[in-house]
Amino acid sequence: MLDDGATLLAEFRDSYFGRRSDFSNIGACESAVNGRGIPDMDIDVMGSGSIDILMRRGLSFAWDALHEAVDLSWKPSLVARVSVEATLMDADMYTGYVTFFSAEFAERMGMGEASDLPGLQVALTSEDCVTPLAD
């Protein structure tokens, strides 16, 4: 859905309680509203062994959401950034995030280019996710 120029996932927008006016630009709004942690409370594997699980979950979720966007009548061009990195409190524990952006904001951010951000990062576009994932 579009909200004052920001491309937001409808379910995320409905559960977000901030105001668009709280953000200095559209991209900051998209990042805050469209970002979520990857569920990890059931992962028994500690340390780097959890990275594969977190990435698979994050990529599957991102792919499904981007695939749904392909079917929207207004055809938004979206990018999902899936990332996994060590937590600040314990370098042997990992956490993951999925954040969705409009392709325009992602390009201005330099997504897809080499960066010095910590952890592992993968970017998917709605154009990558035309076909559904196999069950």
Does some domain include residue 133? Answer: no
Dump pLDDT digits (tens) for 63-120: 999 998 888 877 788 999 999 999 999 888 999 999 998 888 777 766 665 566 667 8
Does some domain include residue 23? Answer: yes
Which residues have C-beta within 8 Å of that of residue 101, sequence separation ≥ 6? 7, 27, 30, 31, 34, 78, 79, 80, 81, 109, 111
* CA angle in degrees (0–180, nearest 5) for 16-21-25: 95
Is residue 22 pLDDT above 90, yes or no? Answer: no
pTM of the model: 0.83
The boundaries of the domain holding residue 19 are: 2-125
- What's the total number of domains in the chain? 1
Tell me, what's the pLDDT at 2? 66
Does some domain include residue 106? Answer: yes
Does some domain include residue 20? Answer: yes
Percent of the chain with pLDDT over 90: 36
Does some domain include residue 132? Answer: no
